[in-house]
């Protein structure tokens, strides 16, 4: 796995090579903004799934819903605010490295890259990945960070509002991953392989 400063763009030569060797291009959003827009339904669904789980594992949520108290939000910028922002950034970065962990031989791969920009960490790969593994790679950050993680913390009484916020943010932020899964499930045959090339995806 190699470090890079920014997400690599689509390599047109690589795309031509894939097409010439029988790979077929997936029909998908042409850019990130379009992908985010199309993934809004998954954002809502993921948020609802997490909040249902949170309702049952964190009693204060049920108490708040049943109360008639109004919501009051006060924003204060201090050292703790900066710490919370840093933890949020770290949580989002962990999301990306969970993706990487499930890429076969990711540490030894010279086609897998990671980096950190001003807003978030990222992981990308041009490795040929089986469809079933691709789906696992895409869904695991949602399952581990927004379902299993809060369940474990709840068991030990360590769950709090800030952690719930992080888990909700991760659940809703996994919407593009879920959109990708939906697209792959609909277009790529079972047993096929998937390859990413910048903003393009191919199957064979």
For the whole model, what pTM was predicted?
0.88
Find tokens 């076969």 and name the residue: 104
Residue 3 lies in a domain: no
Instruction: Tell me the pLDDT band of 45, cut-offs 50, 70 and 90.
Output: very high
CB neighbourhood size of 1 (10 A): 17
| 76/84 Cα distance (integer angstroms) | 12
Which one has a higher pLDDT value, 56 or 77?
Answer: 56
In a domain, 25, yes or no: no
The answer, yes or no, to whether residue 119 has pLDDT greater than 70, is no
List of residues 6+ apart from 45 with CB closer than 8 A: 178
Q: Is residue 199 part of a domain?
A: yes
| Cβ-Cβ contacts under 8 Å for 117 (sequence gap 6 or more) | 5, 6
Length of the chain: 204
- For residue 118, give its domain range: 32-63+78-203
Q: Is residue 16 part of a domain?
A: no
Q: Tell whether the model's pLDDT for residue 39 goes beyond 80.
A: yes
In a domain, residue 112? The reply is yes
The answer to whether residue 195 is domain-embedded is yes
Domain count, the chain: 1
pLDDT in tens, 174-188: 999 999 999 999 999
């Amino acid at each position: 796995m190699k470090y890079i400063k920014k997400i690599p763009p689509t390599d047109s030569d690589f795309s031509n090579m894939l097409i010439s060797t029988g790979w077929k291009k997936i029909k998908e959003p042409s850019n990130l903004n379009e992908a985010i827009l199309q993934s809004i339904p998954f954002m809502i669904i993921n948020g609802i799934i997490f909040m249902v789980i949170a309702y049952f594992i964190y009693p204060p949520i049920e108490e708040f819903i049943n109360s008639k108290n109004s919501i009051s939000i006060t924003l204060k910028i201090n050292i703790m605010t900066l710490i919370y922002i840093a933890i949020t950034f770290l949580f989002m970065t962990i999301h990306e490295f969970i993706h990487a962990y499930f890429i076969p031989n990711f540490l030894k791969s010279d086609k897998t890259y990671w980096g950190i920009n001003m807003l978030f960490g990222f992981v990308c790969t041009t490795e040929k990945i089986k469809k079933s593994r691709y789906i696992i790679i895409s869904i695991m950050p949602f399952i581990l960070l927004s379902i299993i993680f809060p369940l474990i913390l709840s068991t030990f009484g360590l769950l709090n509002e800030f952690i719930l916020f992080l888990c909700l943010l991760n659940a809703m932020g996994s919407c593009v991953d879920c959109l990708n899964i939906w697209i792959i499930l609909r277009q790529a045959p079972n047993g096929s392989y998937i390859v990413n090339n910048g903003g393009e995806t191919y199957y064979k």
